[in-house]
Chains A and B, each alone.
Chain A
Amino acid sequence: MSTDAPLRPATEAELSEVIAEAAGDGARLAIRGGASKRDVGRPEAGVRSLDMRAFTGVVDYDPPELVLTVRAATALAEVQALVAAKGQMLAFEPFDHGPIYGPPPSADHSA
Chain B
Amino acid sequence: MTLSMPAPDEAVLARRGAIIAAMRAIVPGEGVIDHPDALRAYESDGLTAYRQPPMVVVLPETTAEVAAILAWCHENRVKVVPRGSGTSLSGGALPLADGVLLGMSKFNQVLEVDYADRLAVVQPGVTNLAVTRAVEDRGFYYAPDPSSQIACSIGGNVAENSGGVHCLKYGLTTNNVLGAEIVLISGEVVRVGGRQLDPAGLDLLGVVVGSEGLLGVVTEVTVRILPRPEAARALLLGFPTVEGAGQCVADVIAAGVIPAGMEMMDRAAIHAAEAFVHAGYPLDVEALLIIELDGVEAECAELLGEIQPIAAANGAVSMRISRDETERLAFWAGRKAAFPAVGRLAPDYYCMDGTIPRRRLPEVLERMRTLSAAYGLAVANVFHAGDGNLHPLILYDANRPGELERAEAFGADILRLCVEVGGVLTGEHGVGVEKRDLMPVMFSEIDLAHQQRVKCAFDPHLLLNPGKVFPTLHRCAELGRMHVHGGKTAFPELPRF
What residues make up the interface of A, taking CB atoms closer than 8 Å to B? 17, 20-21, 24-26, 62-67, 87-88
**Which of B250, B490, B496, B497 is within 8 Å of A64, CB to CB?**
B250
Q: Collect the chain B residues with CB atoms within 8 Å of residue A26's CB.
A: 497
A-B contact pairs, 22 of them (CB 8 A): A17-B491, A20-B490, A20-B491, A20-B494, A21-B491, A21-B494, A24-B491, A24-B495, A24-B496, A24-B497, A25-B495, A63-B254, A64-B250, A64-B251, A64-B253, A64-B254, A64-B359, A65-B253, A65-B357, A65-B358, A87-B256, A88-B256
B interface majority secondary structure = loop
How many contacts A-B (CB < 8 Å)? 31
What residues make up the interface of B, taking CB atoms closer than 8 Å to A? 250-251, 253-254, 256, 357-359, 490-491, 494-497
**Which of B359, B491, B494 is within 8 Å of A62, CB to CB?**
B359
Q: How far is the CB of B307 from chain A (nearest CB, A)?
A: 14
**Which of A25, A64, A87 is within 8 Å of B358, CB to CB?**
A64
Nearest residue (CB) in A for B422 is A60
Q: Collect the chain A residues with CB atoms within 8 Å of residue B359's CB.
A: 62, 64-65
Bound together, the chains give a CA A21 to CA B496 distance in angstroms of 10
A24 x B251 contact (CB < 8 A)? no
Q: Collect the chain B residues with CB atoms within 8 Å of residue A87's CB.
A: 256
Residue of B250, B251, B494 ringed by the most chain A CB atoms within 10 A: B494
Q: Collect the chain A residues with CB atoms within 8 Å of residue B250's CB.
A: 64-65
Q: Collect the chain B residues with CB atoms within 8 Å of residue A88's CB.
A: 256
Bound together, the chains give a CA A20 to CA B483 distance in angstroms of 13
B491 x A66 contact (CB < 8 A)? no
Nearest residue (CB) in A for B358 is A65
Nearest residue (CB) in B for A87 is B256
Q: Collect the chain A residues with CB atoms within 8 Å of residue B496's CB.
A: 24
Q: Collect the chain A residues with CB atoms within 8 Å of residue B490's CB.
A: 20
Q: How far is the CB of B127 from chain A (nearest CB, A)?
A: 31
Bound together, the chains give a CA A65 to CA B355 distance in angstroms of 13
Bound together, the chains give a CA A21 to CA B495 distance in angstroms of 8
Nearest residue (CB) in A for B247 is A64
Q: How far is the CB of B157 from chain A (nearest CB, A)?
A: 24
Q: Collect the chain A residues with CB atoms within 8 Å of residue B497's CB.
A: 24, 26
Bound together, the chains give a CA A21 to CA B494 distance in angstroms of 6
A62 x B357 contact (CB < 8 A)? yes
Q: Collect the chain B residues with CB atoms within 8 Å of residue A17's CB.
A: 491
Q: How far is the CB of A93 from chain B (nearest CB, A)?
A: 14
Q: Collect the chain B residues with CB atoms within 8 Å of residue A21's CB.
A: 491, 494
Q: Collect the chain A residues with CB atoms within 8 Å of residue B256's CB.
A: 87-88
Bound together, the chains give a CA A38 to CA B185 distance in angstroms of 42
Q: Collect the chain A residues with CB atoms within 8 Å of residue B491's CB.
A: 17, 20-21, 24
Bound together, the chains give a CA A65 to CA B256 distance in angstroms of 11
Q: How far is the CB of B259 from chain A (nearest CB, A)?
A: 13
Bound together, the chains give a CA A14 to CA B497 distance in angstroms of 22
Bound together, the chains give a CA A88 to CA B253 distance in angstroms of 11
Q: How far is the CB of B167 from chain A (nearest CB, A)?
A: 14
